[in-house]
Structure 1
Amino acid sequence: MIVVTGATGTLNGATVQHLLERLPAEEVGISAREPAKARHFADRGVRVRQGSYEDPQALRESFAGADQVLLVSGNDPAADMVGLHRNAIEAALAAGVGRILYTSQQGVAADGPYPPAAIHAATEQILADSGVAWTSLRYGFFSHSFVPLLGPWRETGVIAAPADGPVPWTAPADLSEATAALLSGERSFDGPITLIAGEALTLDDFAALASEHSGRTVERVVLGDEEWVADQVAGGVAEPAARFMLTMFRATRQGHFAEHDPLLAELLGRSPRRVAERLAEF
């Protein structure tokens, strides 16, 4: 059996949908904080049990009988995410799970400028030290996440933001499909793997795409870090949120997300979706 956490969310919910296209429903399970939100899967014969990273005992029960578990990474900035991830890993070990897959992120680094990268690095180390077979899925940044970085370019004709670097913005739909392929045994990997789109874009590239899409010239203007933060705060963004976003710009321009990897395309059997397809939606 494969047990998936976070399946009431969009990404892992889509992963479960893809699994059900490959496997009988009785081979798929869900560990959900609120099982009622997974009723649509239960109605299809999927095993749904209550479990949360804050409750290790419930997690062990929800993981019982699983050969593989897909652990979704948490993103609550106020929580001890490394500790919660440790709870989930230890619960899987106690339940006798054979392999743990963990949704990590491209650019894992214990000492990089982007704080979530250190959380993923610490979690991957826990997995490495656990003795269990494990695969860390280092996803590319979700392709819809570029929207707040571009600002109100449709109204202003300008993308005004700090200096940046290339990022392979990746469609969540592609990631969920590839993850289901891995879980269903089409291919297996030990340790970290990188799942990213085939093109890495800068905001200069976005300006060119936006110009083509809108039929008018969209200019890319580079702002100083503090000037950009001040503009964000003046526009109603909380300063802590603006400074968190700034860490991503700093990481991109230091090249933390500049790598290329063909694995996602190989798992999909086609080219991943391109950013131009998503830009037209916003």
Structure 2
Amino acid sequence: MSEVVFVCGATGTQGGAVARHLRKANATVHALVREPKNAKALADMGVLIFQGSYDDTESLRAALKGATSAFLNFMPSFTDISQELRHANAVISAARDEGVRHIVYSSSFGLEEDETTRPGLDPDGIVAKIYQVKRDITREITKYPSYTILRPAKFLSDLIGPAAAWFGDLTTTGIFETALTQGQTSPYVDPDDIGAFGAAALLSPEKFSGHRVDVFTALLTPEDLVSGLAEATGKRMSVRFLSEVEVEEKKKRNLLLEAQITMKEKSALANLDQVKSWGVPVGSYEDFLEREKKRLDDTYTRVPSKQDS
């Protein structure tokens, strides 16, 4: 009899990757969605679709019924900061009521080491508040009888589509203006690797229970990141490192710079050997670029080509 796993956010980046890896392992996957018509790809791979929301206890319990484990990840709301914690508590409560034995929560790399306000991060800003909510969720998760905390790094998929706004005007000018430091490596993760780790933790709780697991694919400098992207797309790209004065001035109106500052400060925590020690195969930046070439090409159509004068 196959394992039954409930997956939060199965139509999204992380949940979708976890669902794919679970189905490859022949696990039964339950997903709760607001609009089943938007979950056709999931249904086509054999995921069982339940209509409802985290605010609807009845539909949530129906989706969790029979599940042995559950994957939790939640999107922050910029208009309702408390929503993420509210949804997490609803799922945790319903999972407990339905007898779910093991929970895997996807948090964020370096978050728990960052309990105090970091230099350059506005303690009253939206970024600090979102991080605090994730810490609060982590504390609730650790009260569950069996749990695993995944801590994925910066998504490589944020180079694609609207998410690429994190990289400023890179999609139009080919220039990545950043608060990151020249030559300093930062951890990045291919969401497919989150899927692999998520499935492994869900299907092998005896190995992963009680652990916090960092998940990333590669350590890249800003120069590595942009040069690889330029090579994959054939576009002219470069990095411009902002001075401390520029960062201080620009971060007042650019939330993404605050996120880059915290990413820079957590880079020293990254240990790729530790990631690999779990025995879960991870890919590479090159693998990601090759697999996502079409979507990357579509994202950077406005950037001048290398052969353009």
Task: Give the superposition deviation at 1:70.
Answer: 0.8
Corresponding residue for residue 99 of structure 1: 102
Task: Give the superposition deviation at 1:152.
Answer: 3.9
Aligned CA distance change for structure 1 residues 68 and 51 (closer, same or farther; 3 Å): farther
Which of 225, 228, 238 aligns to 2:250? It is 228
Alignment of 1:49-64 (within 5 A): 49-64=50-65
Q: Any idea what SS the aligned residue of 1:255 has? A: helix
Corresponding residue for residue 149 of structure 2: 136
Task: Give the superposition deviation at 1:154.
Answer: 7.7
Aligned CA distance change for structure 1 residues 51 and 163 (closer, same or farther; 3 Å): same
Corresponding residue for residue 169 of structure 1: 188
- The answer (yes or no) to whether the contact 2:222–2:239 under 8 Å persists in 1 is no
Task: Give the superposition deviation at 1:264.
Answer: 4.5
1:67 aligns with 2:72: no
- Identify unmatched segments of 5+ residues in structure 2: 122-126, 301-309
Which of 127, 137, 143 aligns to 2:141? It is 127
- The answer (yes or no) to whether the contact 1:157–1:218 under 8 Å persists in 2 is yes
In percent, how many aligned pairs have the same letter?
Answer: 22
Task: Give the superposition deviation at 1:141.
Answer: 1.2
Alignment of 1:66-85 (within 5 A): 66-79=67-80, 80=82, 81-85=84-88
Alignment of 1:1-282 (within 5 A): 1-23=4-26, 27-42=28-43, 45-79=46-80, 80=82, 81-108=84-111, 109-112=114-117, 113=121, 114-115=127-128, 116-129=130-143, 131-145=144-158, 147-152=164-169, 158-164=175-181, 166-185=185-204, 187-199=207-219, 201-206=220-225, 209=228, 218-223=238-243, 224-229=246-251, 239=253, 242=254, 244-255=255-266, 258-262=269-273, 264-265=275-276, 270-274=281-285, 278=289, 281=296, 282=300
Cα deviation digits, residues 185-243 of structure 1 (max 9, x gap): 384332321111231x333444565677769783533241244358xxxxxxxx4xx2x
Q: Distance in 1 between matches of 2:174 and 2:26?
A: 48
Q: Any idea what SS the aligned residue of 2:110 has? A: coil
Task: Give the superposition deviation at 1:10.
Answer: 3.4
Task: Give the superposition deviation at 1:16.
Answer: 1.5
Corresponding residue for residue 235 of structure 1: none
- Identify unmatched segments of 5+ residues in structure 1: 231-238
- The AA in structure 1 aligned to 2:15 is N
Q: Distance in 2 between matches of 1:193 and 1:13?
A: 19
In the alignment of these two chains, the number of paired residues is 267
Aligned CA distance change for structure 1 residues 271 and 36 (closer, same or farther; 3 Å): closer
Q: Distance in 1 between matches of 2:235 and 2:13?
A: 33
Q: TM-score when scaled to structure 2?
A: 0.72
- The answer (yes or no) to whether the contact 1:264–1:272 under 8 Å persists in 2 is no
